[in-house]
Structure 1
Amino acid sequence: MPSPRPALLDLAARAQLFTHLAAMEKAGVPVERALLSVQVPARAKAALASLQTQIAGGSDMASAGLRSGLFTPLDSTLLRAAQASGCLAAIYQRLAERYNHRAQQAAAIKSRLLMPAAVLVLALFIQPLPALVGGQLSIAGYLWGVLWPLLVLGALYALGRGLYLRREHAPAGAASPLDGLLASMPILGPALLRRNLRDFFDSLGLMLEAGMPMLEALPKACAVISHAPLRKRFSAVHLAIQRGHSLAQALSALDFPGQGLALGLIRTGEASGTLPASLLNYASVESQKLDSLNEQLATWLPRLLYAGVMLWMAYGLLTGAGFGPRLPAELS
């Protein structure tokens, strides 16, 4: 079996794709016909054609979408569980809402970063001008002083984006050497764990709501967890359930963010016979917390960057130190 290609769609395009698939699934339209009216960017046309061909050949949506490059491994894992439990429309809708949220948050952060980025570029061009006019810098030295910080920042951005995409498109269940580092980072580490936990409880609740047995749903829900150490800890829940423990008892032996609220809701759901709804409620609460954190990052990250740029400009104007190390002597 060929290895899956990286997903070709951005967040907004994925949200549009899953919104369309959810509407068609709810309307009872066969998937072959639903795919005929899907709109994707030009770069993903070939991937859509591949998906249509595989579906016509009898492949399931989760596997075909992953192989074609339209779905990420997480998308495929969730859809494979949904296919087994009969809640495909609900998962389509959840994925559409999730990608729509992420697209809006990413767009907000990008728009708010435009001003500090513009100020930084302007400062890089303006700050060496007095030295150029005064004859202390040659044209080559001026251009080097402007370009090398931009090259460094561009390289850092490309590296960060590459690591993010590599993690986003990693096969389900694969361990990453960055898992420990990311989990230990302030703010981002707890957010990463909460996102994985939200995905676990959300998918487990949906599968149980569709009537899938607990022992069959748990391994599929664990496969959704992308953080390898957390996934290994939660795999013990399946063994505890096999030994006759309740879900609350099995989870009480673990330590994870939001455990108190999760156990309270799960115990209530088990006592009242509404466990799937309790799991989905907890996943909804975690989603709201993650949305709040993302909104705070979108608000404060640009402000901090803008303040850093302004402080650097003030320092450079007062001391003449410029940006980073001094220029090579042959360029001055």
Structure 2
Amino acid sequence: MILRLFMLIFATLISIVVSVSTSSSKDLAVGISLGLDYITSAYITETDDFVTVARVESIQDWKNFYYSLLKMGRGYKRGPREYKDSQVNELLAKTFLSIKEATETKLNQQVEILSITYPFCISDQGYRSNLFEAATEVLPGMKDITQFWMYFHSIRQAYKLNTAEALGYPAGTNIDHQDSMLLHIDYQDSLLDVAATDILGDFTGVTSSFQIFDFGNGKQAASPAQLETFKLRLRKLIDGELAPPTNAGHLPAQLEDFRYVIFSGTAPQSEFQKLRESIIEAVPEFSDRFIKDSIDPEWVGAVGAARRAKVYQVEGPPSWDHWEYVIHDETKHNEL
């Protein structure tokens, strides 16, 4: 599929800009997640267990910036930027330093931030370079682009959904040859963000998505009318994935391609239960697709970043020498 081919090509582009360096092992390797409502941090122990650490409420300036990205639109419908690069860099730097300070205070020791989980809208609206510049300016451990993970990819890695067995395939299956997808439901204070993602071994790409603003009426208490809207829009999103593409040579997605439904966000479990029931009503075939919530939905972004931080501390930047080009004759999605 075209999206998969794009991600494969992107991997080789990354290899050009990756700096060959290793991280200090003197400080604890920490990952952070840039959420809408909270900035969080976590680390991985020597026994591969995760430890959640700090949770800093995001300042209003960060929330305003986040919402401005969501409301800009996409592609040819994208509106003008509201923020200058200098404003964005300053805001990001302030955010990075606040979670670093909170993490060190909580642990009473120096830490090294080695991975950052960032929201899709930052990349989608062209602010990833600002993210990189601000991080490398104030966080000495952030050295190359492979330390930055998009939110949905980080969530997937938090649950270790990067092997055939984890995705429900027979052992030895090459997941790059499978049309595997995930459905992400992220429920923040006043925002419901829903995305279908296409996955490869090392990449997770958004194929379609929608947002519902003021979901839960600012109290994370979704009304029956809001849940009905969610069901209708979810069914439309799934039907869009299943519909035959305009290119007759491509194949549409199948319901079995959706391996898991994953929740994230700050909403209480009672609200996630409402969403679970609504999803089953909208797509009955997904009743057995919900991943076991072994990680609190609020912390999955930080845990994913922590996993990347741990690997980076031990191995440094990845080598792409092993990368195998796989071109599929049949595809189902267009690049977004």
Greater Rg over alpha carbons, structure = 1
Using the size of structure 1 for normalisation, the TM-score is 0.28
**Whose strand fraction is larger, Structure 1's or Structure 2's?**
2
